[in-house]
Chain A
Amino acid sequence: RKEVEQDPGPFNVPEGATVAFNCTYSNSASQSFFWYRQDCRKEPKLLMSVYSSGNEDGRFTAQLNRASQYISLLIRDSKLSDSATYLCVETNFNKFYFGSGTKLNVKP
């Protein structure tokens, strides 16, 4: 079983839609969690950290549910420029585990 599981998608949504991705992890001792986005043929870029209390950055909201061992990313008012692959990451003592990514296509 993989450490981190993500629905590969693609999620095809119209501009302005709200879309949410979940990511489950298997290690209950995992310490930190992050969301990255990766554009085609580019390196992953850190989008946001995920805190137990939930955190928001503009149109993006990340949440962590330790009891059910999943993290989520909510994108409100989707823009065309949000089209990318979103990777969730969990870490445990400086070992990082990446999900395989969820592809989002925002269409006009």
Chain B
Amino acid sequence: GAVVSQHPSWVICKSGTSVKIECRSLDFQATTMFWYRQFPKQSLMLMATSNEGSKATYEQGVEKDKFLINHASLTLSTLTVTSAHPEDSSFYICSAAGQGYGQPQHFGDGTRLSIL
């Protein structure tokens, strides 16, 4: 089945640090990748939709200068949390949808980010 790899799985760092998370589709080409955030006991929240070779589309309330997304190839998207603060601590999950009509999303394992 389709595999999406996300790295790192867990990050603990000091306030003010920038953190980069990678999302790779390993066995298929993903025109579109998605970035989500999930707080404990809450639903997935879509942050942005990333299309290869173009600027990401951010959901309302998500700061594009805070959460930098790059989707340079059909198999790699990155999310950089710039100058992270404790309130940015969350579970960040990427997903990728294959090319073609009606393809489901496949999720990476997620990155647990803790800012001290």
How big is the A interface, by class?
10 to 19
Q: Is there an interface contact between A96 and B105, defined as CB atoms closer than 8 Å?
A: yes
- What total count of A-B pairs have CB within 8 Å? 42
The residues of B that contact A46 with a CB separation of less than 8 Å are 1, 104-106
User: Chain B: interface secondary structure?
Assistant: strand
Q: Is there an interface contact between A45 and B107, defined as CB atoms closer than 8 Å?
A: yes
Residue of A41, A44, A89 with most partner-chain B CB within 10 A: A44
Q: Which partner residue on chain B sits nearest A6 by CB separation?
A: B43
Q: Is there an interface contact between A89 and B109, defined as CB atoms closer than 8 Å?
A: no
Q: Within the complex, what minimum Cβ distance (angstroms) separates B65 from chain A?
A: 24
What CA separation (Å) do A34 and B32 show in the bound complex?
A: 17
Q: Is there an interface contact between A43 and B107, defined as CB atoms closer than 8 Å?
A: yes
Q: How many residues of B contact A (CB 8 A)?
A: 21
Instruction: Name A3-45 residues within 8 Å CB distance of B.
Output: 31-32, 34, 41-45
Q: Which partner residue on chain B sits nearest A96 by CB separation?
A: B105
Q: Within the complex, what minimum Cβ distance (angstroms) separates B1 from chain A?
A: 8
What CA separation (Å) do A43 and B23 show in the bound complex?
A: 13
Interface residues of A (CB under 8 A from B): 31-32, 34, 41-46, 49, 87, 89, 91, 94-96, 98, 100-101
